[in-house]
Amino acid sequence: MVWSIDYHSGVPVYLQVVQQVQSAVASGVLREGDQLPSVRALAEQLRVNRNTIARAYGELEHAGALENRQGSGCFVRASATPLRKAVRTERLTGAVDSLIVQAHTLQVSDDDLRGLLDERLTEFDARRKSEE
Partner 1 sequence: MAIIDVQKLHVSYGRAEAVHGLSLTVEPGRCHALFGRNGAGKTTTLKALLGLVPVTSGSVTLFGLDLLRHEREVKSKLAYVPDAPGFYPWMTVRDALDYAASFRPGWKTDVEQHLLERFELDPKAPTSSLSKGQRTQLALTSAVSADPELLILDEPTSGLDPLVRRQFLEAVISTFQDRDPQKKSLLVSTHLITEFEGVVDEFTLVDRGRDVLTIEADTARASYRRIRGWFEGDAPSSTPLTTLTPPTREGRMLELVVDREADAARAWLTSAGAQRVEAEALSLEEIFLVAAAR
CB 32 within 8 A of CB 77: yes
Q: For partner 1, give the closer residue by CB, 72 or 105.
A: 105
User: Which of 19, 81 has the CB closer to partner 1?
Assistant: 19
For the four alpha carbons of 131, 73, 68 and 90, in that order, the dihedral sign comes to negative
Nearer to partner 1, 9 or 89 (CB): 9
Give residues with Cβ within 8 angstroms of 67, minimum separation 6: 61, 74, 75, 76, 77
Which residues inside 8-47 make contact with partner 1, applying CB under 8 A? 8-14, 40, 43-44, 46-47
Instruction: Spell out the residues 6+ positions from residue 32 whose beta carbon is closer than 8 angstroms to its own.
Output: 76, 77, 78, 79
Contact between 104 and partner 1 by CB under 8 A: the answer reads no
Q: Please give the residue ranges that form the binding site for partner 1 (CB under 8 A).
A: 5, 7-14, 40, 43-44, 46-52, 54
